[in-house]
Amino acid sequence: MHFCGLMEIKTAEFKIAASNAAGCPKGALPEFAFIGRSNVGKSSLINMLVDRKDLARTSSTPGKTVSINFFLINTKWHLVDLPGYGYAKRSKTLRVQWETVLIEYLKERENLQCVFVLIDCRVPPQNSDISFINMLGEMGVPFILVFTKLDKLKAIDSAKNIEKFKETLLLDWAALPQCFETSSEKVIGRKELLDFINNVMNTPKEL
Protein backbone atom coordinates (compact mmCIF):
# COMPACT_ATOMS: atom_id res chain seq x y z
CA MET A 1 0.00 0.00 0.00
CA HIS A 2 1.16 3.49 -0.81
CA PHE A 3 0.20 6.23 1.63
CA CYS A 4 0.39 9.87 0.75
CA GLY A 5 -0.87 12.27 3.35
CA LEU A 6 -4.59 11.78 3.76
CA MET A 7 -5.04 9.89 0.47
CA GLU A 8 -3.97 6.37 -0.38
CA ILE A 9 -3.97 5.41 -4.06
CA LYS A 10 -5.41 1.91 -4.07
CA THR A 11 -6.56 1.63 -7.69
CA ALA A 12 -5.88 3.58 -10.86
CA GLU A 13 -7.18 2.45 -14.23
CA PHE A 14 -7.73 3.87 -17.68
CA LYS A 15 -11.45 4.40 -18.25
CA ILE A 16 -12.14 6.06 -21.60
CA ALA A 17 -10.74 8.36 -24.28
CA ALA A 18 -13.41 10.89 -25.25
CA SER A 19 -13.22 12.91 -28.46
CA ASN A 20 -15.64 15.55 -27.17
CA ALA A 21 -17.57 16.56 -24.06
CA ALA A 22 -20.52 14.36 -25.03
CA GLY A 23 -18.27 11.30 -24.89
CA CYS A 24 -17.11 11.94 -21.32
CA PRO A 25 -18.15 9.48 -18.59
CA LYS A 26 -21.66 9.78 -17.21
CA GLY A 27 -22.28 10.16 -13.51
CA ALA A 28 -21.21 12.68 -10.89
CA LEU A 29 -17.67 11.61 -9.96
CA PRO A 30 -15.41 14.64 -9.36
CA GLU A 31 -12.76 15.34 -11.99
CA PHE A 32 -9.29 16.87 -11.76
CA ALA A 33 -7.81 17.78 -15.14
CA PHE A 34 -4.11 18.09 -16.07
CA ILE A 35 -2.89 20.17 -18.98
CA GLY A 36 0.26 21.95 -20.18
CA ARG A 37 2.47 22.63 -23.16
CA SER A 38 3.92 19.72 -25.08
CA ASN A 39 6.93 18.18 -23.30
CA VAL A 40 6.03 19.69 -19.93
CA GLY A 41 6.24 16.25 -18.30
CA LYS A 42 2.51 15.66 -17.88
CA SER A 43 2.54 11.88 -18.35
CA SER A 44 5.44 11.48 -15.93
CA LEU A 45 3.69 13.63 -13.35
CA ILE A 46 0.44 11.67 -13.64
CA ASN A 47 2.31 8.37 -13.28
CA MET A 48 4.19 9.71 -10.26
CA LEU A 49 1.00 10.97 -8.70
CA VAL A 50 -0.83 7.64 -8.88
CA ASP A 51 2.35 5.59 -8.27
CA ARG A 52 2.15 3.67 -11.55
CA LYS A 53 4.91 3.34 -14.14
CA ASP A 54 2.87 3.61 -17.33
CA LEU A 55 -0.71 4.54 -16.54
CA ALA A 56 -0.35 7.63 -18.72
CA ARG A 57 1.83 7.10 -21.77
CA THR A 58 3.76 9.70 -23.72
CA SER A 59 2.51 9.85 -27.29
CA SER A 60 5.00 8.90 -30.01
CA THR A 61 3.39 11.65 -32.10
CA PRO A 62 2.89 14.61 -29.75
CA GLY A 63 0.20 17.07 -30.79
CA LYS A 64 -1.58 14.50 -32.97
CA THR A 65 -4.42 13.60 -30.59
CA VAL A 66 -7.43 15.53 -29.39
CA SER A 67 -8.78 12.89 -27.01
CA ILE A 68 -9.68 13.55 -23.37
CA ASN A 69 -8.33 10.61 -21.37
CA PHE A 70 -10.07 9.62 -18.15
CA PHE A 71 -8.47 7.54 -15.39
CA LEU A 72 -10.59 6.23 -12.52
CA ILE A 73 -8.81 6.63 -9.17
CA ASN A 74 -9.91 4.64 -6.11
CA THR A 75 -13.30 4.26 -7.88
CA LYS A 76 -14.09 7.71 -6.41
CA TRP A 77 -12.72 10.36 -8.80
CA HIS A 78 -11.42 10.85 -12.31
CA LEU A 79 -7.99 12.12 -13.23
CA VAL A 80 -8.37 13.74 -16.64
CA ASP A 81 -5.43 13.94 -19.05
CA LEU A 82 -5.96 16.78 -21.53
CA PRO A 83 -3.73 16.97 -24.64
CA GLY A 84 -1.01 19.60 -24.54
CA TYR A 85 -1.39 23.06 -26.02
CA GLY A 86 1.16 25.20 -27.82
CA TYR A 87 2.46 22.41 -30.06
CA ALA A 88 3.93 24.25 -33.05
CA LYS A 89 3.69 21.39 -35.55
CA ARG A 90 0.01 20.72 -34.96
CA SER A 91 -1.96 21.65 -38.08
CA LYS A 92 -4.27 24.66 -37.96
CA THR A 93 -7.28 22.42 -38.54
CA LEU A 94 -6.36 20.09 -35.68
CA ARG A 95 -5.52 23.05 -33.44
CA VAL A 96 -8.93 24.63 -34.00
CA GLN A 97 -10.59 21.24 -33.50
CA TRP A 98 -8.82 20.70 -30.20
CA GLU A 99 -9.46 24.22 -28.93
CA THR A 100 -13.16 23.74 -29.64
CA VAL A 101 -13.23 20.44 -27.75
CA LEU A 102 -11.20 21.88 -24.86
CA ILE A 103 -13.37 24.96 -24.40
CA GLU A 104 -16.51 22.83 -24.60
CA TYR A 105 -15.14 20.53 -21.88
CA LEU A 106 -14.07 23.41 -19.61
CA LYS A 107 -17.38 25.25 -19.99
CA GLU A 108 -19.82 22.37 -19.81
CA ARG A 109 -18.28 19.74 -17.57
CA GLU A 110 -20.00 20.21 -14.21
CA ASN A 111 -17.90 17.43 -12.65
CA LEU A 112 -14.68 19.41 -13.16
CA GLN A 113 -13.30 20.49 -9.79
CA CYS A 114 -9.98 22.02 -10.79
CA VAL A 115 -7.51 22.29 -13.67
CA PHE A 116 -3.86 21.62 -12.89
CA VAL A 117 -1.87 23.82 -15.28
CA LEU A 118 1.64 22.41 -15.65
CA ILE A 119 4.49 24.88 -16.16
CA ASP A 120 8.05 23.84 -17.10
CA CYS A 121 10.34 25.52 -14.56
CA ARG A 122 13.31 25.23 -16.96
CA VAL A 123 12.09 27.93 -19.32
CA PRO A 124 11.12 31.61 -19.05
CA PRO A 125 7.40 32.55 -19.14
CA GLN A 126 5.72 31.36 -22.34
CA ASN A 127 2.90 33.26 -24.05
CA SER A 128 0.92 30.05 -24.57
CA ASP A 129 0.91 29.36 -20.81
CA ILE A 130 -0.08 32.91 -19.90
CA SER A 131 -2.82 33.01 -22.55
CA PHE A 132 -4.31 29.71 -21.39
CA ILE A 133 -4.27 30.78 -17.74
CA ASN A 134 -5.95 34.08 -18.64
CA MET A 135 -8.61 32.16 -20.56
CA LEU A 136 -9.34 30.00 -17.51
CA GLY A 137 -9.73 33.17 -15.47
CA GLU A 138 -12.14 34.69 -17.99
CA MET A 139 -14.19 31.48 -17.98
CA GLY A 140 -14.21 31.27 -14.18
CA VAL A 141 -12.64 27.79 -14.16
CA PRO A 142 -10.82 26.91 -10.90
CA PHE A 143 -7.14 26.12 -11.46
CA ILE A 144 -3.77 25.83 -9.77
CA LEU A 145 -0.22 26.02 -11.12
CA VAL A 146 2.11 23.02 -11.00
CA PHE A 147 5.75 23.78 -11.80
CA THR A 148 7.42 20.64 -13.20
CA LYS A 149 10.94 19.24 -13.70
CA LEU A 150 12.35 20.82 -10.55
CA ASP A 151 15.25 18.34 -10.65
CA LYS A 152 16.42 19.44 -14.11
CA LEU A 153 17.92 22.74 -12.95
CA LYS A 154 19.94 24.06 -10.06
CA ALA A 155 17.61 25.20 -7.30
CA ILE A 156 18.62 28.83 -7.71
CA ASP A 157 17.84 28.76 -11.45
CA SER A 158 14.46 27.07 -11.11
CA ALA A 159 13.54 29.50 -8.33
CA LYS A 160 14.39 32.44 -10.60
CA ASN A 161 12.26 31.08 -13.45
CA ILE A 162 9.33 30.35 -11.14
CA GLU A 163 9.53 33.83 -9.62
CA LYS A 164 9.68 35.40 -13.08
CA PHE A 165 6.59 33.46 -14.14
CA LYS A 166 4.70 34.66 -11.08
CA GLU A 167 5.76 38.25 -11.74
CA THR A 168 4.56 37.98 -15.34
CA LEU A 169 1.23 36.54 -14.25
CA LEU A 170 0.72 39.38 -11.78
CA LEU A 171 0.73 41.81 -14.71
CA ASP A 172 -2.78 40.51 -15.47
CA TRP A 173 -3.87 39.13 -12.12
CA ALA A 174 -4.49 40.83 -8.76
CA ALA A 175 -3.38 37.70 -6.89
CA LEU A 176 -1.66 34.42 -7.70
CA PRO A 177 -3.44 31.05 -7.72
CA GLN A 178 -2.16 28.30 -5.48
CA CYS A 179 1.19 26.95 -6.73
CA PHE A 180 3.03 23.66 -6.30
CA GLU A 181 6.57 22.65 -7.26
CA THR A 182 7.21 19.09 -8.45
CA SER A 183 9.74 16.61 -9.74
CA SER A 184 8.47 13.31 -11.12
CA GLU A 185 11.95 11.80 -11.01
CA LYS A 186 12.52 12.68 -7.34
CA VAL A 187 8.86 12.33 -6.32
CA ILE A 188 8.67 15.92 -5.12
CA GLY A 189 5.21 17.43 -4.64
CA ARG A 190 3.24 14.17 -4.71
CA LYS A 191 1.95 14.44 -1.15
CA GLU A 192 1.02 18.09 -1.57
CA LEU A 193 -0.96 17.50 -4.78
CA LEU A 194 -2.82 14.49 -3.40
CA ASP A 195 -3.60 16.37 -0.20
CA PHE A 196 -4.96 19.23 -2.30
CA ILE A 197 -7.24 16.86 -4.24
CA ASN A 198 -8.36 15.19 -1.03
CA ASN A 199 -9.19 18.54 0.56
CA VAL A 200 -11.20 19.68 -2.46
CA MET A 201 -13.18 16.44 -2.46
CA ASN A 202 -13.94 16.77 1.24
CA THR A 203 -14.86 20.45 1.22
CA PRO A 204 -18.64 21.03 1.05
CA LYS A 205 -19.70 23.03 -1.98
CA GLU A 206 -21.24 26.45 -1.36
CA LEU A 207 -24.89 26.66 -2.38
Give the pLDDT confidence score for residue 99 in this predicted structure: 85
Q: At 191, which amino acid appears?
A: K
Which pLDDT score is estimated for 88? 55
Per-residue pLDDT, 35: 96
d(CA 9, CA 196): 14
CA distances from 184 to 49, 51, 57, 201 (A): 8, 10, 14, 24
Largest CA distance in the chain: 46
* pTM tops 0.75: yes
pLDDT confidence of residue 204: 74
Q: How many CA atoms lie within 13 A of 71 on its CB side?
A: 22
Q: Residue 157's pLDDT is what?
A: 95
Beta strands in the chain (DSSP E): 3-4, 7-8, 12-18, 31-36, 68-73, 77-81, 112-120, 143-148, 179-181
* Domains of the chain as residue ranges with CATH: 3-201 (3.40.50.300)
pLDDT of 203 reads 84
Residues in the chain, pLDDT under 50 = 1-5, 60, 207
Q: In this predicted structure, what is the pLDDT of residue 80?
A: 97
